[in-house]
Structure 1
Amino acid sequence: MGKSVLTSPAIMIDVRDLHKSYGHIVALAGVSCSVNDAEIFGIIGPDGAGKTSLFRILASLLLPDSGSALMNGVDVVKDYEKIRRMIGYMPGKFSLYQDLTVEENLYLFATVFNTTIEENYHLVKDIYQQIEPFKTRRAGRLSGGMKQKLALCCALIHKPEVLLLDEPTTGVDPVSRKEFWDMLRQLKKQGITILVSTAYMDEASLCDRIALIQKGRFLGIDTPQGIISSYRRSLWSLHAGNVRGLLKSIRSYPHVRSCFAFGESHHVAVEEGFSERDFQQYLSSKGYGQIHLEPISPTVEDFFLDMTIDN
């Protein structure tokens, strides 16, 4: 009986040392990553980190200064016409025709790609059925969640191999955000590779793998759990009765590496030599009472914030 052979997943997107600047502003400073076939890969980072520049290069809408990007072996610069047939692209800003109805927008996009709604209806059926009651409404009069669903339908109607979704959930209500991610998981099951960017750190856990980006550089690439597991510092959650000036006081303590506010608590990353008792005494001497300090497990956001200190 022969031995089973483990094969590596096929690479659908291959980015190598991409650079892009706008005058003196560096948008991408040599980013590299690979995205596997039928994978949901997230680019996670704040506004201005370089996400949109990366997506526009991959969509063949922007030329890089240097580096390369391949989509299923096809160069995004040299073979841009082929790339545009391979991808479905949702830019961050709603870009459909606002004066056309829902139905007219979908028909137009199908026609542009020389296909029909009927031919690939199975791809958009579950999504389109949610907006079908509004099919005669102009796109500009849809709610944020409905606009999002229509844009996704239009990006899918030509049966793309890759979906490029640039901050698709920004400004969308929590219920619509959840519904959108449920739709992405269903599309993944149909073999579509999905590259999605977001500034919401909580959406990182919904991806198969993620790349954290800041100032045009990737700070880490791994599964969400892999990113969390690589966080090696001791992390504490702190609550205090009086929070005025608390953040500054915590950051002034010698063995604190960083401190960031998380809602009503503070996440405090500490270094070797930290003493819980001494720290509480220090805060008491500063006039803070009702101090509650406990060790916690890190999140992707904790890792990201820790990495930004050195970058």
Structure 2
Amino acid sequence: MNAIEVSGLVKRFGDKTVVDHVSMSVAEGEISGFLGPNGSGKTTTIRVMCGLLTPDEGEGRVLGHDIRTDGLIIKREVGYMTQKFSFYEDLSMEENLTFVARLYNLQPVATVVRDTLEDLGLLSRRKQLAGTLSGGWKQRLALAACIMHKPKLLLLDEPTAGVDPKARREFWDEIHMRASAGLTVLVSTHYMDEAERCHRIHYISYGKLLASGTVPDVIRDAALTTFVLDGGDTTQAAKLLQGMDGVDQVAPFGLTLHVVGQDKASLVAAVSKVAKETGVNYREGNTSLEDVFIQFMGKSTDNMA
């Protein structure tokens, strides 16, 4: 059974279509990544799914409930973590969680709060004011508030933005542990290493869903070829390759140059020609998820322009 099943979702604000006929599914117990550039419609789609916004067109069910008629039920069974830290900064961790527990009418409040603090390793900081926490600790507090009512689905909107690598890894370890126990997660992210930790990914660009599948599936279906250039004058090679037939992307990576294109024959011709002129070596490399991400962005049109 799918925890999320939506079809043909459309959401407009005035004359702008922010979500444009999006259809996708997320299986129970799956960690599903939601990728796309800023302003692509990820947050709006998530808000439609959790009952905060009503779609203008389309249908869907979340945890078996209709997104149009069962918004209140969905909200009680979903944990939603917003992009922006949204707790009271002049209250302590414990006081913020107490407030959330009362909103959900969880009983007994003190026990539920203490268990949640202990579960997320927050007990030692329970008296610390939320406004004085580092990004990583704020993230843990937000996650604690999301899971304390034991939801069946987590919707996480760029939860690790501005958090250091160690805190990000600890956060993902926590998410994987809970998914293995049956929790379903839909998480939006800009980090490619995080996307690769998801079971499946969905790429949305300016309101349109362009790809869904496992990371290897999405990379394969993009049908891109990547060459790695090194030695010789890679700086001059980069200048010459820009705009040549078959060359869609040119990006330096340390002492190497990555050149990506969809038309393999034209790309080979361009790379071999420039290699002779600049003395660089070249070999075919592996296309990354980031290469696919950039390719999708380059072919999309801003729906708000």
Normalising by structure 1, what TM-score? 0.87
State whether residues 124 and 156 of structure 1, in contact with CA within 8 Å, keep that contact through their aligned partners in structure 2.
Answer: no
In the alignment, the residues of structure 1 paired with residue 233 and residue 124 of structure 2 have an alpha-carbon distance, to the nearest angstrom, of 52
1:43 matched residue in structure 2 = 34
Deviates more, 1:264-273 or 1:174-183: 264-273
State whether residues 212 and 220 of structure 1, in contact with CA within 8 Å, keep that contact through their aligned partners in structure 2.
Answer: yes
In the alignment, the residues of structure 2 paired with residue 150 and residue 137 of structure 1 have an alpha-carbon distance, to the nearest angstrom, of 11
Residue 263 of structure 1 pairs with residue 258 of structure 2? no
Give the secondary structure class of the aligned counterpart of 1:48.
coil
Residue 150 of structure 1 pairs with residue 120 of structure 2? no
1:118 matched residue in structure 2 = 111
Q: How well do the aligned residues superpose, as a CA RMSD in angstroms?
A: 2.3
In the alignment, the residues of structure 1 paired with residue 203 and residue 41 of structure 2 have an alpha-carbon distance, to the nearest angstrom, of 11
Residue 79 (structure 1) aligned to one of 70, 93, 96: 70
In the alignment, the residues of structure 2 paired with residue 100 and residue 153 of structure 1 have an alpha-carbon distance, to the nearest angstrom, of 15
State whether residues 121 and 157 of structure 1, in contact with CA within 8 Å, keep that contact through their aligned partners in structure 2.
Answer: no
2:21 matched residue in structure 1 = 30
Give the secondary structure class of the aligned counterpart of 1:169.
coil
Specify the code of the residue in structure 1 equivalent to 2:132.
R
State whether residues 14 and 71 of structure 1, in contact with CA within 8 Å, keep that contact through their aligned partners in structure 2.
Answer: yes
State whether residues 82 and 157 of structure 2, in contact with CA within 8 Å, keep that contact through their aligned partners in structure 1.
Answer: yes
1:7 matched residue in structure 2 = none
Give the secondary structure class of the aligned counterpart of 2:162.
coil
Aligned residue runs from structure 1 range 1-311, under 5 A: 10-115=1-106, 116=109, 118-119=111-112, 125-127=118-120, 129=121, 131-239=122-230, 242=233, 244=235, 246-254=237-245, 256-264=246-254, 265-270=256-261, 271-274=263-266, 279-283=271-275, 285=277, 288-289=278-279, 291-311=280-300
The Cα of 1:303 is off from its aligned counterpart by 2.2
State whether residues 123 and 159 of structure 1, in contact with CA within 8 Å, keep that contact through their aligned partners in structure 2.
Answer: no
State whether residues 231 and 298 of structure 1, in contact with CA within 8 Å, keep that contact through their aligned partners in structure 2.
Answer: no
In the alignment, the residues of structure 2 paired with residue 262 and residue 134 of structure 1 have an alpha-carbon distance, to the nearest angstrom, of 43
What are the superposed Cα offsets for residues 236-266 of structure 1, whole Å, 9 maximum, x if unpaired? 1224655556545213323x24114253343
State whether residues 117 and 157 of structure 1, in contact with CA within 8 Å, keep that contact through their aligned partners in structure 2.
Answer: no
The Cα of 1:190 is off from its aligned counterpart by 2.3
The Cα of 1:278 is off from its aligned counterpart by 6.6
The Cα of 1:80 is off from its aligned counterpart by 1.4
**What are structure 2's unaligned runs of at least 5 residues?**
301-305
State whether residues 51 and 74 of structure 2, in contact with CA within 8 Å, keep that contact through their aligned partners in structure 1.
Answer: yes
State whether residues 8 and 59 of structure 2, in contact with CA within 8 Å, keep that contact through their aligned partners in structure 1.
Answer: yes
Give the secondary structure class of the aligned counterpart of 1:114.
coil
State whether residues 241 and 274 of structure 2, in contact with CA within 8 Å, keep that contact through their aligned partners in structure 1.
Answer: no
In the alignment, the residues of structure 2 paired with residue 41 and residue 29 of structure 1 have an alpha-carbon distance, to the nearest angstrom, of 20
Q: How many residues are paired up?
A: 296
1:6 matched residue in structure 2 = none
**What are structure 1's unaligned runs of at least 5 residues?**
1-9
Distance 1:245 1:214, change over 3 A: farther
Specify the code of the residue in structure 2 equivalent to 1:105.
N
The Cα of 1:184 is off from its aligned counterpart by 0.1
In the alignment, the residues of structure 2 paired with residue 258 and residue 275 of structure 1 have an alpha-carbon distance, to the nearest angstrom, of 9
Give the secondary structure class of the aligned counterpart of 1:230.
helix
Distance 1:15 1:183, change over 3 A: same
Give the secondary structure class of the aligned counterpart of 1:229.
helix
1:5 matched residue in structure 2 = none
1:4 matched residue in structure 2 = none
In the alignment, the residues of structure 1 paired with residue 282 and residue 26 of structure 2 have an alpha-carbon distance, to the nearest angstrom, of 40
In the alignment, the residues of structure 1 paired with residue 182 and residue 114 of structure 2 have an alpha-carbon distance, to the nearest angstrom, of 16
State whether residues 49 and 214 of structure 1, in contact with CA within 8 Å, keep that contact through their aligned partners in structure 2.
Answer: yes
